[in-house]
A and B are shown apart, each in its own frame.
Chain A
Amino acid sequence: MIPLLLGISFLAFMLVRLAPGGPFDRERRPASPEIERRILEKYHLDEPLLKQYARYLGGVLKGDLGPSLKYRNHSVSDIVIQGLPVSMMLGTCAFLFALGLGLPAGFYAAARQGGFGDYASSLVALCGVCVPAFVVGPFLVMEFAIRRKLFPVALLESPMHLILPTVTLGLYFAGRVARLLREGMLGLRDAEFVVAARAKGMTDVAVLRRHVFRIGVLPVVSYSGPMLADLLTGSFVVENLFQIPGIGVFMVNSSLSRDYTMIVGLVLVYAVLLLMLNLFVDLAYRWLDPRVSYD
């Protein structure tokens, strides 16, 4: 894991510097080249890249992700500490929403394979996957916040404020989960253990629930790792639309503003989360499928 993180940090550090323009290129240039030079010197941007990377890595090892080059009175660590819990809170809710909606929908479609219920739920799932958040979000706001006044339009001040962002963020993943579960379960329709269970006289629903679901859900479990990493690190569209103070907005804006330290810091946070969640997924596999072992 450590070598992988080192590789990721090195690549991120070098790649962001390939983009033209720098963090201190603004509409208004400083009055003198001396000031520009001082700014670069202050943030060590005048040093050779490898030296900068070594300096950065030294800071990271001490838990310091460096100062933000855009928000110069804040450190990247502070921004992550402030925003990550908010993004994680929203991401967790969206994750649970995706599973809560996607699993029953997928199960229902698999159980009613070829019937109206299957087509209907598959169509809804497909819509969830196809319609992007920047369409779903404004629609939900317009209908439920502006017209019906059931929910707040934006900000994060109470549990009610979480509902629309959760639905907006989770709908896509709910659709993916439903489709994955349906495919996973249908693939097992003729498996030997299913035939055996049926031969013992179990009803179709009981076979699906007790035997097929447990194995058929494995593709969803595999997908859960990257899905959760995506959700926990925030979404630019949803956080921007609902004015949620997470780190999703910084993920995009730091690239646009060439905030080098912030970009690399956030990439590292994302990488750590992704690696950890994939590890959990591997462990969950063993828990769910007795055929899997890691000897």
Chain B
Amino acid sequence: MGNCRFKVQGLLALGLATILILSGCGRREPRADVVIINGTDPESLDPAIITALEDYRIVPGLFEGLTRIDPVNAQAIPGLAERWDVDEGGRAYLFYFRPGLRWSTGDPLTAHDVVFSWLRLLDPRTAADYAAQLYCVKNGEAYSTNGITDASRVGIRAIDDLRLRVELNHPVPYFLDLCASPTLSVVPRKTIEALGDQWLQARPLPSSGSHTLEIWRLNDKIRFRKNPLYWDAANTANNTVEFLPVGSPATALNLYERGAADIIWDKDLVPAELLKDLKQRPDFHDFPYIGTYFVRFNTTRPPFHDARVRRALALAVDKRRIVERIIKGGESPAGHLVPTGVANHLAPESLGQDEAAARRLLSDAGFPQGEGFPVFEYLFDSAAGGGSKVHAKIGVELQEMWRRELGVRMELRQMEKKVYLAAQTGLDYDLSRSSWVGDYNDPNTFLDLFLSNNGNNRTGWKDERYDGLMRQANVEQNPRRRSELLRQAESILVAEEAVVIPLYFYRGFQFYDANRISGIHGNILGMNPVRTIRNSEATRTNGGVVHDRDARASAAAGAGKPQ
């Protein structure tokens, strides 16, 4: 028995030792100047790969493009290029680089780097989801889809280290906005050629943006440090920034409330049930956002192939009730697809709410008082972060509105996200909840979805008039006439044909203490560059200056590694 006691004591001692040893394993870094709760973990930081909003909010800090976003109004302003000439009626751009640009590792950054980055984006081997952002470039689409293999035929050419000429297929009014998109940022050639898909694991990672990547631990944190070799480093407002990938809204709010984080910049990151109270607080900030929540019709399935039926359903929706009873975040009901406030947008006629007209239309379509109307399904996904509850509640509300006003019966069909996407893509649905967030500040980012050949159409709807108007708008050089063409196209989409029922426009949400945190602006893109965010408490701790010494030492420590 004495032996047994010895064993038990030994086990306890071993356990205690394990706890002590393991407890020491916590990874501690000094608190960053600014700690941001950013949402779920970024899938990538590679500009050519990223597609998610969480990724888009981070990447511009590391990699910059020819232009960059003005945080105040979301307009494109000079970035790596200090100016540009527009030739051939908008079909060609000549960009002039800032002299003396350098990667964070000290190597020169030239126009040739842009050529490499953009050709890489188009290269089919990169398999970039957003390669189409450069399809407006001459031969860009052909190169991307293996139509041509000679990269020199693509309309991107470095005249010398400081000049880049870009030829477009047609004038693109939002081309400078595209140049500010993180997707078109400049990435380090030598590092990518040396490490392939693992290039983001290089340390130090050459950066063309305001910060360098210090730490990237999945499901833990991303830590940036100021890049002292950035051309505008004098105006970078912080030394270190951390992004926490928090998936649980309750945890995000707890961390923020206890001071472990300075900023929450996503509505989905606070518990929906507390939103009503949180909105009253002085650290709550909201702004119009380039996103729309809408319902898609599968126009290949009867009776939804009939525009009268679609219009009838659209007319019978009380959008204000949905916004006020379910969403409760101050969103506005949507009469059209492109959110109010998007540049170059003219609001089209909208259907509005008219139950009597809805009943008449349904009757004209052969379903008086809904008689004979087949039972149909409303498809929605079980999103994380409480989103599924919103989707389900909206579904229930629509179900009741249509039953009450039109006498039609709808069933709800909830699916796991990937199954939902597959069903939507395969047109295996009747009606489906949908949403879209624009990539750039122009109506085109919404309206081109519904072109006949667009992979994101997902309604089966094809309309020659719509395609024609969009084509015309794409080549129209007069901004006013272009906006008018887009207005006509949108009018067909949401009013005449009612392929979608826009329900409400998103609002952006941020939580931060404005007495302490500055440099955040609620622009319509929801893109706030980290370079402008200042934490006055952190600055005070650093002696009132944002100093470059640490960052310079950090950059120098890795000089000579592959770029």
Residues of chain B within 8 A (CB-CB) of A96 are 15, 18-19
A161 at the binding interface (Cβ < 8 Å): yes
Contacting pair B260 A152 (CB below 8 A) = yes
Q: B23 on the interface (CB 8 Å rule)?
A: yes
- B281 adjacent to chain A (CB < 8 Å): no
Most chain A CB atoms below 10 A, which of B46, B130, B250, B254: B254
| Bound Cα distance from A38 to B244, whole angstroms | 32
Q: Which of B59-67, B197-205, B338-346 contacts A (4 or more CB under 8 A)?
A: B197-205
B456 close to chain A: CB less than 8 A: yes
Provide the residues of chain A in CB contact with B124, threshold 8 Å: 34-35, 38
Q: Is B532 an interface residue (CB 8 A)?
A: no
- List B residues 385-428 near A (Cβ within 8 Å): 416-419, 421-423, 425
| Contact status of A241 and B132, CB under 8 A, knowing A67-B197, A146-B258 | no
Contact of B46 among A32, A35, A73, A258 (CB under 8 A): A73
- Is B25's beta carbon under 8 Å from chain A? yes
- Nearest Cβ in chain B — how far from A218, in angstroms? 14
Partner of A245, one of B24, B127, B220: B220
Residues of A within 8 Å of B435, CB to CB, are 27
With contacts A32-B144, A32-B145, A35-B124 taken as known, whether A73 is within 8 angstroms of B200 at the C-beta atoms is: yes
How big is the A interface, by class? 35 or more
A31 B130 Cβ-Cβ under 8 A: yes
Q: Please choose the segment from A15-23, A49-57, A171-179 that sits at the chain B interface, where 4 or more of its residues have CB less than 8 A away.
A: A15-23
B127: which of A35, A74, A100 is its contact (CB, 8 Å)? Answer: A35
User: Smallest distance from the beta carbon of A142 to chain B beta carbons, Å?
Assistant: 9
Chain A, 22-37, contact with B by CB distance < 8 Å: what is the 0/1 string? 1001111111111110
Q: Are A21 and B246 in contact (CB under 8 A)?
A: no
The reply to whether B218 and A83 contact each other, CB–CB distance below 8 Å, is: yes
Pair A159/B26 contact, Cβ less than 8 Å: yes
- A141→B254 CA distance, assembly (Å): 9
Is residue A89 within 8 Å, beta carbon to beta carbon, of the partner chain?
yes
- For the complex, give the distance between the alpha carbons of A34 and B217 in Å: 33
Cβ of A75 under 8 Å from chain B: yes
Q: Which residue, of B23, B247, B418, has the highest number of chain A Cβ atoms within 10 A?
A: B418
User: Which residues does chain B contribute within 8 Å of A214, judged by CB atoms?
Assistant: 4
Residues of B within 8 A of A92 (CB): 18-19, 22
Q: Does B472 contact A (CB under 8 A)?
A: no
- The minimal Cβ–Cβ distance linking B202 to chain A, given in whole angstroms, is 11
Q: Which chain A residues border B135 with CB–CB below 8 Å?
A: 31
- The reply to whether B51 and A26 contact each other, CB–CB distance below 8 Å, is yes
Interfacial chain A residues near B197, Cβ < 8 Å: 67, 72-73
Chain A neighbourhood of B456, CB < 8 A: 28-29
Is residue B49 contacting chain A, with contact meaning CB distance below 8 A? yes
B518 within 8 A of A: no
Given contacts A38-B127, A153-B251, contact A21 B25 (CB under 8 A): no
Minimum Cβ distance to chain A for residue B288 (Å): 21
Contact yes or no, B22 A240, CB < 8 A: no
Contact B146 A159 (CB under 8 A): no
Residue in A closest to B146 when the chains form the complex, CB atoms: A34
How far, in angstroms, from A127 to B206 measured CA to CA in the complex? Answer: 54
Partner of B131, one of A35, A71, A156: A35
Tell me which of A21, A73, A249 contacts B201 (CB under 8 A).
A73
Measured in the bound complex, the distance between the Cα atoms of B339 and A33 in whole Å is: 29
A251 to B44, CA, bound (A): 19
Give the complex CA separation of A28 and B56 in angstroms.
14
Say yes or no: A71-B255 contact (C-beta < 8 A), given A28-B129, A31-B130, A39-B127: no
Contacts of A146 in B (CB 8 A): 254, 257-258
What are 19 sample pairs from A and B whose C-beta atoms fall under 8 A apart? Answer: A20-B419, A20-B422, A28-B51, A29-B129, A32-B141, A33-B455, A34-B145, A71-B43, A79-B218, A82-B217, A141-B254, A153-B254, A153-B257, A154-B260, A155-B255, A157-B28, A159-B24, A241-B251, A256-B418
